[in-house]
A and B are shown apart, each in its own frame.
With several copies, the nearest count.
Chain A
Amino acid sequence: MLDKHGIARRIAQELQDGWYVNLGIGIPTLIANYIPEGISVEFQSENGILGMGPFPTEAEVDADLINAGKQTITAMPGASIFDSATSFAMIRGKHIQLTVLGAMEVADNGDIANWKIPGKMVKGMGGAMDLVASADNIIVAMMHTNKRGKSKLLRNCTLPLTGVKCVKKIVTNLAVLDVTDQGFKLLERAPGVSVEDIENATEGRLIIDGDIPEMNI
């Protein structure tokens, strides 16, 4: 079973040289720490920067340089700054090669819910609806089950949707899965996790085709 850092590390293996990547808040943010050797990617933050660098040192902190999570950041050499319309032009116009975000629920047709729990506080969708509606390559990074042990990989989402039929791949603490027309296709098991563990934790349609290898992580 993976922890949050393990999930980030596994997703980092998906990165390809030269990609522009948008990382959501939470687990996705951790991915920046695990970029494979020999791979160069640029991180976009939708509040208006491309080429986001690591968090600043105390001396580098600048209130005018933050990411979409409102965290202080740095700019890498070759970075560029732009307004919010240009930022979402990059997103909507499919200039970003990979979007990684968290989710509360994913359905086996690729629907995703991650912005609202009716009856509870609604914080808003931020840029998530634009990201999921536009990106060709969306990976969801999340725990396989919620705090009450209920599966987050469902036949149908129960929460208000963020986007329909958009998620392509899911990396959880238990598994790596593709979203296909027939449902979740199990690709890899986390270290020490059995196919049965994954079956038990998955409510949506699960396709198990042949031997399922353990992640190489």
Chain B
Amino acid sequence: MQAYLSLKTLLFYIVKEQKGEMNKVVKNAQTAIQGIKDGMTLMLGGFGLCGIPENCIQALVDAGIKDLTCISNNAGVDDFGLGLLLQKKQIKKMIASYVGENAEFERQMLSGELEVDLVPQGTLAQRCQAAGAGIPAFYTPAGFGTEVAEGKEVRYFDGKPHLMEHAFDAPFAIVKAWKGDAFGNLVFKGTARNFNPLMAMAGKITIAEVEELVEVGQLDPNTIHTPGIFVQRIFQGANYEKRIEQRTIRS
């Protein structure tokens, strides 16, 4: 898309765009999570251990922030992902669609230390998107006639029952992308995309950690997955482990 602009035009405008408040780069995860306080609600991108904000999770562990409500599709495994926060008992409540593969989670839930709100995966995704899009509520057929429907408005459309579901409300969202620039534009790789773009839209303050921070103008505007307007802080993460939960090989 840079081809749309002549080099002259580009050089004329690039100078002033590179500095000031439009530059959202922060130093590291520790700086990025400034303002996250005990008791807050956080959205965290990722599906299983794929596309999770590894650096920020570690920073939250290090900072010892506690009583967190975490909205995330999964809760990590015992010793990685959100499991690290669970180990330190920093999570008060978990809002997720699937929480298997985690013995410490199970223990805390059964003992009543951890509050758990299970939400159908599609509803979880849509509630994030709705939050980002200023849609306070919508109707979905998922969960009608089940425990999930308890206390929710039921409404029929074309003779089919639907539940009213509300947009989430989260002061902070933390996402992980493949590439990003100083304006906050993000590109994801493979299925590490998952909930990340939705949560990026939904956070009042969205923190993005990226594998590679590129120069503004390097990302093709046509292939940006998350426009920078949805991101308030960005940094290039380090030491990504990208652990694989089920390493399944074809013989």
Contacts and interface: CB of A to CB of B under 8 A. Distances in A.
Nearest to A132: B142
Interface string A26-63: 00000000000011111011111111011111111111
A69 B13 CA distance: 22
A85 interface: yes
Given A89-B134, A91-B122, A124-B97, A47 B17 contact: no
Contacts of B96: 124
A108 B181 CA distance: 43
The DSSP consensus for interface residues of chain A is: loop
A128 B182 CA distance: 30
Interface in B145-179: 145-148, 178
Contact of B97 (A116, A127, A164): A127
Contact of A124 (B99, B189, B230): B99
A99 interface: no
A53 B121 contact: no
Interface stretch (A1-9, A74-82, A176-184): A74-82
Interface string A76-98: 11111111111111111111100
Most chain A CB within 10 A, of B120, B148, B243, is at B120
Contacts of A42: 22, 183, 228-229
Given A17-B21, A123-B100, A90 B246 contact: no
Interface residues of B, number: 91
Interface in B200-218: 201, 216-217
B49 interface: yes
B47 A47 contact: yes
Nearest to A88: B122
Interface residues of A, number: 81
A43 B242 CA distance: 25
A93 B4 CA distance: 29
Given A53-B5, A88-B125, A89-B132, A133 B142 contact: yes
A90 B228 CA distance: 11
Instruction: Please indicate which of the listed interface residues A40, A57, A70, A78 has the most CB atoms of chain B within 10 Å of its own CB.
Output: A78
Interface stretch (A143-151, A155-163, A185-193): A155-163
Among B4, B9, B49, B140, the most chain A Cβ lie within 10 Å of the Cβ of B4
A121 interface: yes
B60 to A, nearest CB: 22
A83 B242 CA distance: 19
A129 B47 CA distance: 17
Nearest to A93: B134
A121 B97 CA distance: 14
Given A44-B229, A49-B191, A77-B2, A72 B133 contact: no
A210 interface: no
B50 A84 contact: no
A137 B198 CA distance: 24
A70 B246 contact: yes
Contacts of B10: 77
A63 B250 contact: no
Nearest to A76: B13
A76 B245 CA distance: 22
B224 A64 contact: no
25 contacts: A40-B17, A47-B50, A48-B47, A49-B190, A61-B244, A63-B192, A63-B244, A64-B51, A65-B190, A78-B183, A78-B219, A80-B221, A80-B228, A81-B191, A81-B193, A83-B125, A88-B121, A89-B201, A92-B141, A122-B118, A127-B121, A130-B121, A133-B141, A163-B145, A164-B146
Given A90-B230, A122-B118, 19 more contacts: A20-B229, A40-B16, A42-B228, A48-B47, A54-B13, A57-B9, A60-B4, A63-B192, A64-B191, A70-B246, A71-B245, A78-B219, A81-B190, A81-B191, A123-B99, A124-B118, A129-B148, A130-B121, A133-B142
Interface of B: 1-2, 4-6, 9-10, 13-14, 16-17, 19-22, 47-51, 73, 96-101, 106, 109-110, 116, 118, 120-126, 128-129, 131-135, 140-148, 178, 181-183, 185, 189-198, 201, 216-217, 219, 221-222, 224-225, 227-230, 242-250
For the complex of A and B, the 5 pairs showing the least CB-CB separation, nearest first, are: A18-B21, A92-B134, A88-B122, A77-B217, A130-B122
